[in-house]
A and B are shown apart, each in its own frame.
Chain A
Amino acid sequence: MSFDWMKIPYALLTVFIVFNYGLLLGALIQKIGARAGRRHGIPIWQNYIDLIKNYGQRTSITHGVMFYLGPVFRLTGGIGLLLFVPTIYGSYMFSNLSFAGDLILALYFVFFGTLGMALGAGESGHPHAAIGITRGLSQVSVAELPFALAVFAVALQYQTLSVTDIVAAQQGGMLNWTLFTNPLAVAAAMLAFLGSMMRPPFDVVIAPQEIPIGPPTEYHSAYLALMQTNRAIFPVAKMVIYMNLFFGGATSWPEFAVKVFLLYLFSAFVGVCFPRFRVEQSIRWFLIWAVPLGVLAILWV
C-alpha cells in the first residue's frame, strides 16, 4: 500500500484549525445563549484559559486503568471522526484520512469515544456517572434513528456512501443541496441533530444543574483538559458531516466557518427557546415527531 506521508501534516493542520475554531465557537455560542438569557456570558477566550489551567493543575488522581483511558478514548473518537471525513471539498490538503472508510465508518466511529468515555467514567464508581450514561444512551438510541433514516435516504438518493461523492453531487448552486432536493431527510436529521448537541430540550443527559458533580468533577486536571479538547473538536466534526450530507459541504474555510456556525447556532437557538425534556419524554418526542419524517424520507426517495 502506498501512503502519501504528507497526509499526516495536512491532517494535523486540519485538527489544529478545527480545534481553535471549535474553542472559539463554543465560547461564542455560550455567549449568545447567555445573552438570550439576559446574562453577560463568558469572554470569547475563556476556553483557552480553562484548558491551560487544567493542563497546569498539579494534583491528579486516578481510579484505575479504564478511568485513565476514558478521556483518551474520548479524544481519539473526536479526532478520528474529524479525520475520517473530508473537511473541505475539492481540497486534497483537507481531505484528511477519508481513504480509510466512507460515511458508515464515520457514523459508527462516533460511538468509539462515547463508549470509552462511558467506561472510564464508570470506573470512577460515581453513581452519577452511570446515571448520566444511562440517560445519554437511552436518548441517543432513539435520537440517532431519524438521523440514520436520513443518512439512508441520502445514500439512496445519491447511490453512494462516499462522503466526497455526496458532496460532489450537491455542487453547482444552492438548489442542489440535499436541503432542497430531499427536505424531509434534512428535517429528520436536523431534529436528530438537536438530540445529540447536549443542549435543551435534550440536555438532561449531562444535567448541568442536577448532576453538577460526577464525571466532570471526577475528571479533573489533564483528563478534563483532554475532554475539553474533545468538546472543541467533536461537535465541529459532527457538524462537518451534517454540512457535507445536507448543506452542500464547504469548498473553503470561510464557507466552512459560516456553515458550521449556523448549524451550531440552530441548536443553541432551539435550546434557549425550549425547556428541558425528561429522557422518556425525549424518547417519545423523537419517535413521534422526528422518526415519521425519516420514514417518509426513505419512502420518498
Chain B
Amino acid sequence: MVSALHIITAALAAAFLMGLLKEQQRGLAFGITLVTLAFMSWISAGWLWTFASTDTAAVEIFTAGTQPPFAINLRIGLAEAALTLLINLTGLFSALALKDTLLALGRRAMAVWLVAVMALSGIVLTRDLFNLFVFFEMTVIATAGLVLLSEHSKNDGQALAAGFKYLVVSQFISAFLLIGIIFAYHTTGTLNIDGMAAAAPLLSGSAAQAFSLAFFLIFIAIVAELKPFPANGWALDIYESAHPAFSALFSAATGAAALFAVDKLLLIGGDAWLPMATGIGIITFIAANLLALPQTNDRRLLGYSSIAQTGLILAVLGQRDILGDHTLYIAGGLLLSHAVAKAGLFWLSGLIAERGLEAWAALRGHPVLIFAFVSFICMLTGLPPFPGFYAKWELIHLLAGEGRIALLGLILLGALIEAGYLFRWFGYIMKREAPAEVVDNAAHKVVAVIAALAAAWALSLVWGELSVLQFERGNLLLALPLLFALTFLALDPLPAWLKNTLAIAGLLAWFYLTYTEYDPLRMIFAVIFLIGGSLTLLASYHAHGQRSGFYPSAMLMFAGLAMLIRATDTFDFFVAWELLTVGSYFLILRGKHSEPHALSYILFSLGGAFLILAGFALATQGAPHFDLSALADLVQPLAPWVFLLLAIGFMTKTAAIGLHIWLPGAHAEAETDVSPMVSGILLKAGLYGLIVLLLTMGRQDFYGVELINVMLWIGAITALIGNLLAIFQEDAKRLLAYSSIGQMGYAMFGLALMNHLGWLMALMFVINHYVYKSMLFLSIGGVAKRTGTREMYRMGGLITLMPLSFIATLIGIIAVSGVPPLSGFGGRWIFYNAILTAEARLPMVIIFLAGPIAFLYLFRLIYTIFLGQLKDEFRRVKEAPFWIVLPQMIYVAILLVVAVVPGLVLRHVDSYLNAFFPNGGLVWEGSTITSQFGYWNPVAIMIIVGVIFMTLFAWLLFVNRRAQKVKQFNIVFSAERPFRPETTHFAWNFFAPYRKALGFLTLPLATMFWSTVTDLLHTAGDLARRFYTGNGQTYAFHLLAFVMIVYLFGMGVRP
C-alpha cells in the first residue's frame, strides 16, 4: 500500500516540477496536474478499499522518524481515506472543468491548485495542531490566489474584492488559531491532538481555565472556516464571483476538510463543547436556508445551501454524544451527499451561461444533465435512495430516542425550506422559457458532472449496503420495484407505446408475484394501485413519440405504491412514502402550467412526510426496528403525539381541509392521463396510511380531547368545503379536483367513525372513488384535449359529438352522487347505517349538508360541457382519442358490475373487518344485504328501475313515434330567435345565488394562511440579507461579533 504521505509529497513534487517547465508548456503542465491528482486519488482509493474491505486499524504515519509529540504524525483511517478521496477527486474533476482557465493562466495557477488540494488533504490527515494551522494557512493562501485568478475570466473586479475580503477575514481567523495554539501548547505541553485530548481533562485550576480559553480560540477559528451564520459574507462573495469549478472545490472539499478538523478538535474539547457546535450548526442551517430562499443568483444560492449543509453536519457532530458509533455513518452520509451534490451542481453551473435561476432552463434539452440535476437535489434533500436519506432517518430516530425534539424539529424545518428553494429551481428548469444561450457541453466540463452523478448513485449503493450491514435493513437501490422504475431511465429513448406496454406488464407481473401476500384490506389497495394503475396506463397509449421522462416518474410513483402496501416496518413504509411522493411530483410537474402547483404539492408532501418521520421516530424510541403493528403497543404520554404527527402527515396526502391547497392545481394542471393517476390512485396512499394508523392506534386521548373525534370533524368539514368549492369552479378539472377533496373528506369521516360500517363505507369510497374519478378525469381530459379549453362555459352541446365521453360522464356523476341504481348508492346506504351507531352526532349535520351539494357541481359538470348550446368553433370536434375512451368504457362496465353485485368485493372486506370491529357487520343473504337497521337488494333495485324505465320508454316511443329532430336554435325563446350560442348557453357563474348565500364559506382562508407563512419566510430571508452589505469591514465586524456572542454564550456558563 502506498503511504498516504505521498498524497502530500506527490502534490508538492508536482508543484515544484511546474517551476521547471517552460511557460509555454501549458498542455504538459495541465497533464502533470491531472496525473498527480489522479495519483493522489488512487492512493486514497487504495486505502479506502483496504479499510472498507478488511478490518484494518487506522495507520499512523510519522514524518520525522520519531514518535509524537516530538514529531508530526499523520493518520489515515476509514474516514480520512474517504475524505481525501473526496477531496482529491473533487480536485481532479474541478481541474478538468477548469481546463480553459488553467491553460490560460499557466503553470503557476496549476501549482497553486495542487497545493490547495494537498493542503486540504493535509488538514484531514494531520494529527498535529500546529501542522493543522499550517495546512489551513496554505489553504487560505491558495484559496485567495485561486479566487483572485478567477478574475482572469470575468474581469469585473468582483473576484478581486471577494479575494481581498477573504484575506482580511482569514487574518482574523489565523490570529485566533495561532494564539489559541500557543496557549494550548503552553498548558498541555503537547501539540499532538490525541496527546492534547489526553492531557486536557487532567488540567486543573488556572491551567484548566487558560486551556479552555485557548481551546475556545482554536475552536472558534476552525468553526469560522465553516462559514457559520452570520460570519460568512466573505464566503458568499467567493461563491458568487469565483469560477464555479473552484467553488465546487471550495464547497465540497474545503467544507469537508474543515468539518473533519472540527471533529478532531471536539476530541480535545470533550463533550462540554458539543452543545456549542450543535447550536452554531443548527442556527447556521436554518438561517442559511432562509437566506437562500430569496436568492436569484444560482451560485450565491448554492453558496447559501453549502453553508446550510455544513451547518447541519456541524450540528450532527455536536450530537456525537448520542450518535456514538453511528456518527460516521450519519455525518458521513450527510457530508458525502452534500459534497457530491454540491460539486456536481457547481460544475453544472459552469455549463450555464447566465446567472439567473431561470437561465438553467437551458438544461431542458439535455436529459442526462436534467437527470443529474434531479439526482443532486434529491440527494441534498435527503430523499431515498441517496445516503442523506439513510443518514436523516438514523439521525432523526436517535434524536427522538434521546428526547432532543427541538433540534429534531429545527432540522426538519430547515430541510423543508431547503427542499422549497431546490424544487422551485427545478420547476424553473422544466417550465420557464429557455434562454437563447445554449448549454456549454464541452466534454471536459460534462465529464465532471457525469462523474458526480456516478458518485451519487454509487454512494447510494454503498449506503444501502451499509444499512444492510449495520441495521439489517434492505438496500433500497436493490428493491425490485425501484430498480424497475429506474430501468425506465435507460429505456427513455424507446417509443412511448413500447415503454407503456412494459410498464403495464411490470405492474401486472408484480401483482401476480405478490398477490398471495395481501390480506383483504391490502388487497383492495393492491388492486387499485397495480391493476388500477395498469388500467389507467391504457390511456397513455394515446401519447405519441418518446414521451421523455414520463415513465421513470410514473413508475417511481407506482414503485412507491407497490412498496407501501408490502411494508411491515416503519423504515420500509417511509421509504415507499417518499418514493411515491417524489415520483408523483415529477409526474405532476409535467403539466403545461403546473410549475407552482407541483411546487406546493412537493412542499406539502415533504412537510407531511417529515411529520410522519418524526412520528415514527418518536414511536421507535431508539429501537433499531419498529414494526408498524407495534404502534398498537404505544402508551401515554407518547402515543397521542405519535398519532397526531402521523395523522397530520397522512392527511396532507388526502388533502384534509387546511392542508388541501396543493390539490386543485396539482390535479387540474396535470396531463390528461396523469390526473386520474394522481387523483384516482395516489390519494389512496394517504387513506392507506390512515387505515394503518387507525387499525393500530385507534382511539387516542390528547389532553382530554378524543383525537378520533377531531378527525371526524375534519372529515366532515373537508367534505363540505371540498364540495362547496367544487360548485364555484369554472375549470372542469379543478371542479373534479375539489370534488376529490370532498370525497376524501367522506372517506376520512368513515374511518373516523371507528365502527364496522364506517370502515366498510370508507373502503367502498376507496374503490368507487378510484373508478369514477379516474373515469371522469379521463373523459373531461379527453374533452379538454379536443376543445383546447378546460373552462366549462366555453364548451356546451358536445353530447352528439362526443357521445362516449358523455356516457362515461353520465355514469360517473350518477355513481358519485349516490343515486340508485349505481354503485354510489351502496356507499350512501352503508354510510347511513354507519352513522346510526356513531357516538358523535353533530358532525353529521355538516356531512348531511355536504351530500346534496355534490349534485350541484355534478350537474354543472355534465350540463355545461355536454348539454346546452354547441359553440360554432366546436362543430367539428371529434370524439376523444380511442385510448382515452377505452379505459372509460372499462370503468363504466366495472361500475355497472359493482352496482349489481357489490358483494363481489365488499363481502370479503366485510368479513375481514370482523376481526377489528366484531359488531355491526352486514348479513349477505342471496342478493339482499342486511344491516342492523335496514336492508338493500341491489339486484332487485336494478331490475325494478330497469323494468319501469324500459316500459315507460317503450310507451313514449310508441306515442311519440313521429318526433322529429330540430335544429339547435329551434327553441321557444320569448318569441325571439337566440342571438348566438355564447349568449344562450347559461353556464358562467352557474350557481350565483349559492355564492350569495354561502359564498362566505369559500373564503380562501387556508391559502391566505399558507401564503402568509411563505411570505414571512421570504421576508425573514430578505431582512437577514441586509447583513451582507458586501463591505469587507462589515464582514470583519460580523466575525468579531460572532466570536463575542459565541464566547458569551459558551464561556459565560463555563467555570
A residues contacting B by CB (< 8 A) are 1, 55, 58, 60-66, 68-69, 71-73, 75-76, 79-80, 83-84, 97, 99-105, 108-109, 111-112, 115, 118-119, 122-127, 130-131, 133-135, 137-138, 140-142, 144-145, 148-149, 152, 155-156, 159-162, 213-214, 217-218, 221-223, 225-226, 278-280, 283-284, 287, 291, 294-295, 298-299
Interface digits, B951-971 against A, CB 8 Å rule (1 contact, 0 not)? 011001001101111101111
Q: Is B1016 an interface residue (CB 8 A)?
A: no
**When A66-B867, A126-B971, A131-B986 are in contact, do A76 and B993 touch as well, CB less than 8 Å?**
no
- Residues of B in contact with A, size category: 35 or more
CB distance from A247 to the nearest CB of B (A): 21
Is residue B985 within 8 Å, beta carbon to beta carbon, of the partner chain?
Answer: yes
Picked from A105, A131, A133, the residue with its CB within 8 Å of the CB of B936 is A105
Once the chains bind, are A141 and B856 in contact (CB under 8 Å)?
Answer: yes
Separation of A242 and B948 alpha carbons in the complex (Å): 24
B1046 within 8 A of A: no
Given contacts A68-B963, A283-B993, contact A61 B940 (CB under 8 A): no
Known A76-B952, A218-B972; contact A123-B867, beta-carbon cutoff 8 A: yes
The one of B813, B817, B844, B962 in contact with A298, judged by C-beta atoms closer than 8 angstroms, is B844
Q: Chain B residues with Cβ under 8 A from A69's Cβ?
A: 953
A217 to B973, CA, bound (A): 10
Bound CA span A162–B936, Å:
10
B997 lies within 8 A of A68 (CB)? no
20 contacts between A and B (CB under 8 A): A62-B963, A65-B799, A76-B948, A76-B952, A100-B936, A100-B937, A101-B820, A119-B862, A122-B863, A125-B968, A125-B971, A137-B852, A137-B991, A145-B845, A161-B933, A213-B972, A218-B971, A287-B997, A294-B845, A299-B841
In the bound assembly, the distance between CA atoms of A280 and B810 in angstroms comes to 28
Q: Are A130 and B863 in contact (CB under 8 A)?
A: yes
The chain A residue sitting closest to B928, CB to CB, is: A99
Tell me which residues across on chain A come within 8 A of B953, comparing CB atoms: 69, 72
Within 8 Å CB of B944, what residues of A? Answer: 80, 83-84, 97, 100
Chain B residues whose C-beta falls within 8 Å of the C-beta of A223 in the assembled complex: 956, 960
B88-96, B246-254, B825-833: which lies at the interface: B825-833
Does any Cβ of A come within 8 Å of B994's Cβ?
yes
Q: Assess A134 versus B990: contact at CB under 8 Å? Given A61-B965, A80-B945, A105-B936.
A: yes
Interface centre among B810, B926, B963, B968 (most CB of A within 10 A): B963
| Beyond A61-B963, A62-B960, A127-B986, 9 extra complex contacts between A and B, CB < 8 Å | A1-B927, A62-B966, A68-B960, A76-B952, A115-B859, A119-B810, A127-B984, A133-B863, A280-B993
Please tell me which one of the listed residues A126, A134, A137 contacts residue B972 in the complex, with CB atoms under 8 A apart. A126
Given contacts A108-B818, A149-B845, contact A138 B991 (CB under 8 A): yes
Given A62-B964, A155-B933, A222-B956: A125 touches B868 (CB 8 Å cut-off): yes
B853 within 8 A of A: yes
List the B side residues contacting A63 at CB < 8 Å. Answer: 965-966, 971
What residue of chain A has the Cβ atom nearest to residue B967's Cβ? A63
Instruction: Tell whether B855 is near chain A: CB-to-CB under 8 Å.
Output: yes
Please report the C-alpha to C-alpha distance between residue A105 and residue B935 in the assembled complex, in whole angstroms.
Answer: 9
Specify the chain A residue showing the minimal Cβ separation from B941.
Answer: A100
Inter-subunit contact A152/B956 (CB<8 Å)? no
Q: Which chain A positions have C-beta within 8 A of B935?
A: 99, 101-102, 162
- B849 in the interface (beta carbon within 8 A): yes
Give the docked Cα–Cα distance between A161 and B935 (Å): 8
What residues of A have a CB within 8 angstroms of the CB of B987 in the complex? 130
Interface residue B310 (Cβ < 8 Å from any Cβ of A): no
- Inside 8 A of A144's CB, which chain B residues have their CB? 848, 851-852
Report whether B845 and A291 are in contact in the complex, using a CB–CB cutoff of 8 Å: yes
* Residues of chain B at the chain A interface (Cβ within 8 Å): 797, 799-800, 810, 813-814, 817-820, 825, 828-829, 832-833, 835-836, 841-842, 844-845, 848-849, 851-853, 855-856, 859, 862-863, 867-869, 926-928, 931, 933-937, 939-941, 944-945, 948-949, 952-953, 956, 959-960, 962-966, 968-974, 984-987, 990-994, 996-998
Report yes or no: A148 in contact with B848, Cβ–Cβ below 8 A: yes
User: B871 to chain A: closest CB distance in Å?
Assistant: 12
Contact status B863-A72, CB under 8 Å: no
Establish whether residues B960 and A60, one from each chain, have CB atoms under 8 Å apart when the complex forms.
Answer: yes
Instruction: Give A160 to B933 CA distance when docked, in angstroms.
Output: 4
For A73, the chain B residues whose CB sits under 8 A away are 949
Q: Is the CB of B868 within 8 A of A122?
A: yes
Within 8 Å CB of A119, what residues of B? 810, 859, 862-863, 867
Q: Report the bound CA distance from A279 to B991 in whole Å.
A: 10
| In the bound complex, CA of A108 to CA of B974 (Å) | 36
Most buried by B among A108, A145, A162, A295: A108
- The interface centre, meaning the residue of B844, B867, B931, B934 with most chain A CB atoms within 10 A of its CB, is B867
- Closest beta carbon of chain A to B822's beta carbon, Å: 10
Q: How far is the CB of B859 from chain A (nearest CB, A)?
A: 6
In whole angstroms, how far apart are the Cα atoms of A108 and B948 in the complex?
17
Least CB distance, A106 to chain B, in whole angstroms: 9
Q: Which residue of chain A is the closest to B942 with respect to CB atoms?
A: A100
Contacts of A104 in B (CB 8 A): 828-829, 832-833, 934, 936
Minimum CB–CB distance from A222 to chain B (whole Å) comes to 4
Q: Which residues of B contact A84 (CB under 8 A)?
A: 944
Q: Evaluate whether A108 and B820 lie within 8 angstroms (CB atoms) in the complex, with A64-B799, A122-B863, A283-B998 already known.
A: yes
A105 CA to B813 CA in the complex, in Å?
17
Q: Is the CB of B828 within 8 A of A280?
A: no
Are B948 and A80 in touch, CB under 8 angstroms?
A: yes
Q: In the complex, A140 Cα to B927 Cα: how many Å?
A: 33
Chain B residues with Cβ under 8 A from A222's Cβ?
Answer: 956, 959-960
Nearest-Cβ distance from residue B827 to partner chain A, whole angstroms = 10
- Expressed in whole angstroms, the minimum distance between the Cβ of A127 and any Cβ of chain B is 4
Say whether B799 contacts A123, CB under 8 Å: yes
Q: Which residues in A have their C-beta under 8 angstroms from that of B836?
A: 152, 155-156, 159, 161
| A105 contact set on B, CB distance < 8 A | 820, 825, 829, 936, 941
Instruction: Tell me which of B810, B856, B972 has the highest count of chain A C-beta atoms within 10 A of its own C-beta.
Output: B972
Q: How long is the Cα–Cα vector from A294 to B848 in the complex, in angstroms?
A: 11
Closest to B856 in A: A137
CA distance A155 to B829 in the complex (A): 13
How long is the Cα–Cα vector from A141 to B856 in the complex, in angstroms? 8
Check B986–A130 contact: CB distance below 8 A: yes
Quick one: given A130-B986, A213-B972, are A280 and B996 in contact (CB under 8 Å)? yes
- By the criterion CB–CB under 8 Å, are B972 and A284 in contact? no
In the assembled complex, which residues on chain B have CB atoms less than 8 Å from the CB atom of A118?
Answer: 859, 863
Q: How far is the CA of A214 from the CA of B986 in the complex (A)?
A: 13
Would A71 and B956 be within 8 Å (CB), given that A104-B832, A141-B853 are in contact? yes
Q: Of B928, B931, B934, B970, which contacts A103 at CB under 8 A?
A: B934
Chain A contacts of B799 at CB under 8 A? 64-66, 123
Question: Is the pair A99, B937 in contact by a Cβ cutoff of 8 Å?
Answer: yes
When the two chains form the complex, which single residue of A72, A134, A291 contacts B993, counting CB atoms closer than 8 Å?
A134
Contact A138 B868 (CB under 8 A): no
Determine how close the nearest CB of chain B comes to the CB of A16; give it in whole angstroms. 14
A99 and B934 form a contact (CB under 8 A): no
Judging by beta carbons under 8 Å apart, are A141 and B852 in contact? yes
B997-A61 in contact (CB<8A): no
User: Are B936 and A145 closer than 8 Å at their CB atoms?
Assistant: no
CB distance from B474 to the nearest CB of A (A): 48
Selected from B849, B966, B984, B994, the residue in CB contact (under 8 A) with A138 is B994
User: Nearest A residue to B990 by beta-carbon distance?
Assistant: A134
| Closest chain A CB from B176 CB (angstroms) | 71
Q: Are A115 and B965 in contact (CB-based, < 8 A)?
A: no
Question: Which chain A residues lie closer than 8 Å to B974 at the CB level?
Answer: 213
The answer for the CA separation of A103 and B940 in the assembled complex, in Å, is 15
CB distance from B899 to the nearest CB of A (A): 13
Asked if B817 and A115 sit within 8 Å, CB to CB, the answer is: yes
Shortest CB-to-CB span from A243 to chain B, Å, is 19
- Is A125 in contact with B869, judged by CB distance below 8 angstroms? yes
Contact B818 A126 (CB under 8 A): no
Of the candidates A66, A76, A115, A278, the one whose C-beta lies within 8 Å of that of B945 is: A76
Q: How far is the CA of A62 from the CA of B968 in the complex (A)?
A: 10
Which of A69, A111, A123, A125 has the largest number of chain B CB atoms within 10 A?
Answer: A125
